Structure 1
Amino acid sequence: MEEELRLLQIDNPTPAQIATSLDEIEEENKKRHLSVVLIGHVDAGKSTVGGQILFLTGQVDDRTIQKYEKEAKEKSRESWYMAYIMDTNEEERAKGKTVEVGRAAFETEKTRFTILDSPGHKSYVPNMISAASQADVGVLVISAREGEFEAGYKRGGQTREHTQLAKTFGVSKLIVVINKMDDPTVNWSQQRYEEIKKEMRGFLKRSGYNVSKDIQVLPISGLLGTNMKTRMDRGVCSWWEGPSLFEALDAVEVPPPDPSGPFRMPISGKYKDMGTVVMGKVESGTVTEGDSLLVMPNNTPVKVLAVYCGEKKVRRAGPAENLAIRLSGIDDTDIFFGFVLSSVANPIGAVTEFVAQLKIHELPDKFVFSAGYKAILHIHSIVEECEIAELMHQIDMETKQPIPKKVYSVNNGALVICRIQVNNLICIEKFEDIRQLGRFSLRTKDKTVAIGIVIGLPLHQ
């Protein structure tokens, strides 16, 4: 990590040289920045797609690729070599599955991208949630191979759960890439493409996506890099007339964030390097080198020593940027994931309860949702045990108005207003104030049981 955040390499720099270099970097950073999360069922090819993106943008050389090919062949996993670019630890390479969230960056002429490669296995959904909570755009990777799409799409498959969780955590734009189109069972079949596209568009519409505005579906081969950086040759696929993946990403339109709000950066990583370094995505406001901030909820004053966008040191950075910030005034052992780096003038509140609007998704068998129900709360980078303290109202699904009678329990599909309690102080916002800090999911027994938004906070926060 120290290598990733190295300082500018200038031999004996003068103050003027440093200022000029920082100005040049800030000029580069005027390109818009988008965080892209790769989601989908296990074995759909997410890490291969991520690795291929880095190879196509010149961040991995041929010699390294040859080394990975040899390593994969020795493990009798010849087709996994591109995934080794994103899956860097031995457990991931041995099992052929992503465990941690892989992170990398690349640029096109218009946009700087951060790639977040999330795990596809159901055991690692919390890690996928962490990645989705930091993303602006989703790339849903689906395998076209015979039987693999169906396995991911059936109830319990991660194609469904990842899609719904991405929507919950604010990923409103989705590019659906139908991968492995080069597989012998598919052979760039238009019929197979249309079959999957039709099924997914219906499901995405039911999940709350505007399929005409927010969804794009395109065929690719992650292993071969076909239709990724450039449009594919008509000799490969005669029927495709749409864009490549890079073109589709560059064309995604997301509302520009407001840099004038109170500073908020949920902390999703930390380490020690000439001070304490915290990592996360800025959800509101702007940070400048030299700023005084607070680490919440422990209300610790800190000073910003340095700000990094990827490997580049910058003077200031605004919302939607994935940053590493070096701080003084706090030790890394006093920081936990889910803490929030916050402005002093308008600090984020810390609470142990809040009011939420919840949609019940899928309860475990023989469970009902009532006061006393316990679950794991996932909200931005927070993972915390919680309990339903009170069901306040059930909402009529047609009129969207409270049903005027006492509610004691609800089942799948219900919409409720409830009060939720946690044991430890957490930093959240109302959804109407800062959306990314007010969306959440509740999970039990490896299932997403409910999704919701924060609608009320205690007045004494």
Structure 2
Amino acid sequence: MQIDKNQLLRFTTAGSVDDGKSTLIGRLLYDSKSIFDDQLSAVENTSKQKGIEGVDLALFTDGLKDEREQGITIDVAYRYFTTPKRKFIIADTPGHVQYTRNMVTGASTANAAILLIDARNGVIEQTKRHAYIASLLQIPHIIVCINKMDLVDYKEEVFTSIISQFEEFSSKLYIKDVRYVPISALEGDNVVNRSTNMDWYQGAPLLNLLETLHISSDINKIDARFPVQTVLRPQRDEFRDYRGYAGRIASGVYRVGDEVVVLPSGFSSTIKSINAGEKQVEEAFAPMSISMTLEDDIDISRGDMILRKNNQPDASQEFDVMMCWLNDTPAQDRAKYTIMHTSNEQKAMIKEVVYKVDINTYSRIKEDKILKRNDIFRAKIRTTKPLMIDSYKTNRNTGSIILINDQTKETVAAGMVI
């Protein structure tokens, strides 16, 4: 399969504390020669000051001062690198249980997820939690890296045992493609270069997998969804009659002459013109930012959605979501928030917490309805006005929401419409 050298792969790393995520990313950057000379010199100097022989690979990602002092990654750290075959963006998420919420943000746009497992410990709670989130977010590819194989004498039976552990629980999840790689990030085995210590492993090293993964677009190309962000009314004389509706196409294709309907009003019209920047085009598609004009003068404002007449989403004021609670302050049934959905902003409340998920067993907890940080749960949401929603499974852009605390303006939850 031909790989586009300009194609961008976004991947996230996740695992428990000290599983070696930062070291793994450092090894990827170091062995693929993706480190700038000045950055390499700075890390070499810091490594010497810490009394470490050679290079402390973790320092390539743990760039914050307090991270270095504690020796942990406390936020999502984004790193960029390029090989002759592909471009990459890495989201390195923290391993502590209290930072599980960070994986939701780090993985929300990922094409692939690397889940690290310490070969000495096998599958633990955090492994299950991260796999569950990857499943909820429908990340297409999961690469399970069994790290620190050097500490278990590179034994094949340890590797196969952990595969069995992972497959036992992941069979209950919505995961399409899983690959397994035995590695030692510290020693460099099977990260960029094939390991001579594990000749029993016949698969590709990690970097080769990342360079050759097929990236399928997660943009829905069928259902036309155009959330209006703003209405353009230029004041210049030559544009005095121009009334354009601007925003980013969430999914699908729009063409001049298409019959469209505006929700929630239900008024219909025909697309008169489409502009991409200063250029007039006959066709536009997701994720282009455009402005369009209609043949009829319709009252349209921010948050409305322009759709093709024969293809409409649900206009709902009540719907079910799977969510992750991100905030330190607990929430309960009937709590009121601001909901953000595409360009729409409404008042909403958590009408009911249907159940929480026990990450260890994936069983449903219906007795405890108090939401705490990192809780994953199903809820019924009610809004003051209808939202034009699709299920997250069919359309990521129109199937995702966030909740905002009205007083503190903090984002308290992120969710996916069922």
Q: CA deviation at 1:411?
A: 4.9
Match of 1:39 in 2: 14
Query: Is the CA contact 2:94–2:103 (under 8 Å) kept in the aligned structure 1?
Result: yes
2:111 maps to a residue whose letter is D
Match of 2:320 in 1: 356
Q: CA deviation at 1:245?
A: 0.5
**Corresponding position: 1:225 with 2:200:** no
Structure 2 residue aligned with 1:105, among 65, 71, 80? 80
Where does the alignment leave 5 or more consecutive residues of structure 1 unmatched?
1-27, 267-280, 287-302, 307-316, 326-340, 362-366, 394-408, 443-449, 456-461
Structure 1 residue aligned with 2:128, among 160, 163, 167? 160
**Distance (whole Å) between structure 2 residues aligned to residue 196 and residue 377 of structure 1:** 41
Q: CA deviation at 1:360?
A: 11
**Distance (whole Å) between structure 2 residues aligned to residue 133 and residue 68 of structure 1:** 30
Q: State how 1:188-337 maps to structure 2 within 5 Å.
A: 188-210=154-176, 214-233=177-196, 236-258=197-219, 262=225, 284=251
**Distance (whole Å) between structure 2 residues aligned to residue 171 and residue 189 of structure 1:** 30
Percent identity between matched residues is 26
**Distance (whole Å) between structure 2 residues aligned to residue 265 and residue 86 of structure 1:** 38
**Corresponding position: 1:56 with 2:31:** yes
Q: CA deviation at 1:80?
A: 8.1
Q: CA deviation at 1:88?
A: 1.0
SS in 1 for 2:79: strand
**Distance (whole Å) between structure 1 residues aligned to residue 146 and residue 334 of structure 2:** 42
Match of 2:118 in 1: 143
Q: Structure 1's 345 and 95: CA in aligned 2 closer, same or farther, altered over 3 A?
A: same
SS in 1 for 2:149: coil
Structure 1 residue aligned with 2:143, among 144, 153, 175? 175
SS in 1 for 2:150: coil
Q: Structure 1's 176 and 385: CA in aligned 2 closer, same or farther, altered over 3 A?
A: farther
> For 1:97-137, what per-residue CA distance to the aligned partner results, in whole angstroms no more than 9, with x for missing partners?
11221112233444322111111112222222101112111
Q: Structure 1's 360 and 229: CA in aligned 2 closer, same or farther, altered over 3 A?
A: closer
2:136 maps to a residue whose letter is T
TM-score of the two chains, using structure 2 as the length reference:
0.61
Q: Structure 1's 376 and 264: CA in aligned 2 closer, same or farther, altered over 3 A?
A: closer
Q: Structure 1's 426 and 244: CA in aligned 2 closer, same or farther, altered over 3 A?
A: farther
Where does the alignment leave 5 or more consecutive residues of structure 2 unmatched?
230-247, 254-274, 279-283, 290-301, 356-364, 369-376, 404-412
Q: Which moved more, 1:80-89 or 1:162-171?
A: 80-89
Q: Structure 1's 250 and 259: CA in aligned 2 closer, same or farther, altered over 3 A?
A: same
Question: Which structure has the bigger radius of gyration?
Answer: 2
> For 1:139-196, what per-residue CA distance to the aligned partner results, in whole angstroms no more than 9, with x for missing partners?
111122x3xx25xx44xx322211111211121310001111123xx12111221221
CA RMSD of aligned residues (A): 5.1
**Distance (whole Å) between structure 2 residues aligned to residue 223 and residue 434 of structure 1:** 40
Q: Structure 1's 61 and 232: CA in aligned 2 closer, same or farther, altered over 3 A?
A: farther
Match of 1:402 in 2: none
> For 1:80-103, what per-residue CA distance to the aligned partner results, in whole angstroms no more than 9, with x for missing partners?
821111111101111111122111
**Distance (whole Å) between structure 2 residues aligned to residue 426 and residue 96 of structure 1:** 44
Q: State how 1:17-28 maps to structure 2 within 5 Å.
A: none
SS in 2 for 1:435: coil
Structure 2 residue aligned with 1:389, among 346, 351, 360? 351
**Corresponding position: 1:96 with 2:71:** yes
